[in-house]
Amino acid sequence: METSERLNLVAPCGIDCGICELYTCKDNTQLFDQLVAKGISKDIIPCKGCRPTNGKCPLIQKICETFNCISKKKLNFCYECNDFPCLTLHPSADRANKLPHNMKMYNLCTIKKEGVENFVKKSSEIKNRYFAGTMAIGKGPQI
């Protein structure tokens, strides 16, 4: 069983902060240095995840609007909302090759169907399939 600390690293929007480079750099000096070399300030990494920081995202340096929304509604995940799916979760091609934002809907559906513990067990594979997979029409991304 996953620890509650690890499960707490899954954001309300479905992004798994626990496998994000901004979080995992805490245990990897080389990754930390690479992120700094890319222009990410040492002051904002390693990130602790959005739930432990009450939605303060180091990339936008303010409270995430999605986190704010879900907190006001007293929900754990966006899929629990009556407005799900909303435009905030709508995918965009902008920076899709670098950011995991287009994974949110798939992740949320997986969490809803299988639970957050099972999602955490496969979130690395989901992320790898998204970024390293080759799209096969009718079959989805293939590794």
pLDDT tens across 106-119, in order? Answer: 999 999 999 999 99
Contacts of 85 (CB under 8 A, 6+ apart): 78, 105
Report CA 58 to chain centroid distance, whole Å: 13
CA angle 109, 58, 103 (to 5 degrees): 20
pTM: 0.86
Distances (CA, A) of 111 to 5, 78, 93, 121: 17, 10, 23, 11
Residues 34 and 42: their CA atoms lie apart, in Å, by: 11
CA pair distance 29, 32, nearest whole angstrom: 5
57-78 residue pLDDT tens = 888 878 999 999 999 999 999 9
Q: Across residues 135-139, what is the average pLDDT?
A: 87
Q: Which residues contact 112 (CB under 8 A, 6 or more apart)?
A: 77, 79
The residue among 25, 10, 26, 5 whose CA lies nearest residue 103 is 10
Q: Which amino acid is at 115?
A: G
For residue range 10-50, list pLDDT tens digits in order. 999 999 999 999 999 999 999 999 999 998 889 889 999 99
